[in-house]
A and B are shown apart, each in its own frame.
Chain A
């Protein structure tokens, strides 16, 4: 569903992503770990078509993003670290707007059902988003993805700053989406969450995908050790 083929992005002399090969299949949750500056966000931006690759290709549902930017947006949802919504609109209105951009008009009852499914408390539906916590906004983001009926979901450090309970709740929602066959690519710093939530884990540093694991095959200590080795390697290089 999501595929990077020798994907490279350079900004002048800096190579943000270097010959990345990565694949996320339907129903898979791929957690991309890495220290700051590893190239995770650039990878997300390349998948989303926000930036164009210097070399290599990105495929979503078999379509090359560079050639079918518009079409790939129809099957893809995106939740950034700080999901931005319109503060003067309510959660329901935000969902109505973004869902409308993809799927046309949805009935109020359907929208409420989606928010409910995303775990947002009913009392918050009609409150303005300016009063929402980050966790609440992320739930609206999930509801938008649900409304869009996306085949793939890309998340850029969605759980950073969430309290453990909200983080658990968020992981549960990702599980639901995964069960429905949605391919999920998530960048994170949270090793524990990656192992608990992900089906596959990749560790990235200096724009290179260093190691990949099946989440169920790797122990937390082992994952931590590999991760720290990469971070340490980075620090020594610096």
Chain B
């Protein structure tokens, strides 16, 4: 075996004998198939994936069902509410539910923690409610069993398990000398081994991914199944696996013993998947802490200070003067609209400004945290793929925030509609009662999940990091060359 002639240039040269690479890959595959640890690990992966898929499907369907029922009930309640002052109806409020993509079945992302329903009412911009985590025990902190958890967290372990001894077993078993005595270059041997591990990995991943696609396609619920979207998600997972395949082979080459290779790879897995993400999340929370409830309330109070309170007439004396002057009247009763409605609307706009300031600050803290966590991606390929997975499933923080902003815009329309009804359907005071025709004509809420192009554009950073990891790991394979004549 020519151990000293391996160069990057040759790595890409068209092989004179690609069948040799295929032969080595087939041998690797055959050996793996006959090893109990491979069969046990493969079976365990299939069982865990099956369990995750079944539980995710059940969760998703139940969630969709509850959501449809709730949305329907809320809509009915709104339409059937008794006659009341429109501002009273603004306080009565409605709920809006965050729409889910079918891919939420793969990756639930932050939904469990961030909540899925927003209460829309006058004066207040509420955060999402019905956080699933509130109903669960602390055990869920150990990680949810979702298909994404299996594919992102456990699959690298499977790759390590099948590939850690790719080279060390040849040295330990003595077959290295046999290979050296044949006309097989290190480049071909490496490619053959790479193909063997990759083949095994994708022989497990592809059927599972297809099965999951079929289940998602057939699941009853809202939203279309986008084949392209799903394929792109699969491509991200595949790129991530390439990183681990490459790392596994690099470590196996540089380790003297299989045990050492396994321990090293296990340490890499722990650092990349458990330590780095937690470390950077903790650092982000420590360096850029989110304001607590009291601080948020204080910030709101400060931002709101000096503004008009729609419920407090004394806070709107100047507005009264300006409006009466503009309309050339001496009394509020002579205005062509109900001043009370206007006062509520102006007060609402002050509320909105204050909330925009507070939520803008919160968003900026989250962005700073996100930027710091992204730095951790330089140490772990897990972070970019996790972010991409959540983004493709529309369950990441960005989508949550996007929906929250859409709800807020709707809330402003909704409250304005009711205030304007009060303004133009009555002349004075708050005794006017609106009826079902007003409730039925409220603005409709419509929200479209961002298009895939938008999602990918927003994820450019994570995409570059993932591609960087793939490139870096392939460059790492270049370091595989004979360093010792005894190797």
Across the interface, name the chain A residue whose C-beta is closest to B27.
Answer: A97
Contacts of B180 in A (CB 8 A): 48-50
Is B173's CB under 8 angstroms from A84's CB?
A: yes
**B178–A78 touching, CB < 8 Å:** yes
Pick from B1, B30, B177, B181 the residue with the most CB of A within 10 Å: B181
Inter-chain contact A89/B23, CB cutoff 8 Å: no
Stretch of A100-108, A182-190, A222-230 on the interface side: A100-108
Q: Which of B120-128, B182-190, B295-303 contacts its partner?
A: B182-190
- New contact pairs (14) apart from A48-B180, A86-B27, A148-B182, CB-CB < 8 Å: A51-B486, A70-B1, A71-B183, A74-B183, A78-B181, A80-B174, A84-B174, A85-B175, A89-B31, A93-B27, A97-B23, A97-B27, A100-B23, A101-B179
Q: How far is the CA of A50 from the CA of B182 in the complex (A)?
A: 11
A85 and B183 contact, CB distance less than 8 A: no
Q: Is the CB of A86 within 8 A of B31?
A: yes
Any B CB within 8 A of the CB of A77:
yes
Question: B9-34 vs A: 1/0 string, CB under 8 Å?
Answer: 00000000101100100010011001
The secondary-structure label for the interface of chain B is loop
A84-B178 in contact (CB<8A): yes
A102 touches B27 (CB 8 A): no
B35 at the interface (CB under 8 A from A): yes
0/1 interface trace, chain A 65-107, chain B, CB 8 Å (1 if under): 0000111011011101011111111000100011011101100
Contact B30 A89 (CB under 8 A): yes
A143 to B340, CA, bound (A): 101
Chain B: interface residue count, which band?
20 to 34
**Candidates A50, A85, A88, A93; contact of B485 at CB < 8 Å:** A50
Least Cβ–Cβ distance between A67 and chain B, in angstroms = 11
Give Cα distance in the complex from A84 to B17, angstroms: 25
User: Which residues on A sit within 8 Å (CB–CB) of B20?
Assistant: 100-101
CB atoms of A88 and B31 under 8 A apart = yes
Asked if B2 CB lies within 8 Å of chain A CBs, one says yes
CA distance A96 to B276 in the complex (A): 46
Q: How many A-B residue pairs have CB under 8 A?
A: 75
Q: Give every chain B residue within 8 A of A102 (Cβ-Cβ).
A: 182-183
CA distance A49 to B179 in the complex (A): 12
Quick check: A88 and B181 within 8 Å, CB to CB? Answer: no
Q: Are A98 and B35 in contact (CB under 8 A)?
A: no
Q: Which residues of B contact A49 (CB under 8 A)?
A: 180
A49 to B261, CA, bound (A): 27
Choose among A50, A87, A89, A105 the residue with the greatest number of B CB atoms under 10 Å from its CB: A50
User: Does the CB pair B175–A101 fall under 8 Å?
Assistant: no
Beta-carbon nearest neighbor of B484 in chain A = A51
A73-B183, A101-B20 known; A89 and B27 CB under 8 Å?
yes
A21 at the interface (CB under 8 A from B): no
Q: Measured between C-beta atoms, what is the minimum distance from A106 to chain B in Å?
A: 12
Q: Which residues of A contact B178 (CB under 8 A)?
A: 78, 83-85, 98
Q: How far is the CB of B180 from chain A (nearest CB, A)?
A: 6
Give Cα A49 to B178, complex, Å.
12
Contacts of A116 in B (CB 8 A): none
Distance, CA A52 to CA B2, complexed state (A):
12
Complex Cα gap A105–B174 (Å): 24
Closest B residue to A81 using CB positions: B174
Contacts of B23 in A (CB 8 A): 97, 100-101
Q: Please list the 8 inter-chain residue pairs (A to B) with the smallest Cβ-Cβ separation, ordered nearest first.
A: A84-B174, A78-B181, A88-B34, A101-B182, A73-B183, A70-B2, A84-B175, A100-B23
CB-defined A-B contacts under 8 Å, sample of 9 = A48-B180, A69-B4, A71-B183, A73-B1, A73-B183, A84-B174, A84-B177, A97-B27, A101-B184
Tell me the minimal C-beta distance from B482 to chain A in angstroms: 11
Q: Which of A70, A80, A87 contacts B183 (CB 8 A)?
A: A70
- CB closest chain-A residue, reference B20: A101
Cβ contacts under 8 Å, B182 to chain A: 73, 98, 101-102, 148
Q: Is A87 in contact with B181, judged by CB distance below 8 angstroms?
A: no
Q: Which residues of A lie under 8 Å from residue B34 when comparing CB positions?
A: 88-89, 128
Rounded to whole Å, the gap between the CB of B238 and the closest CB of chain A is 28
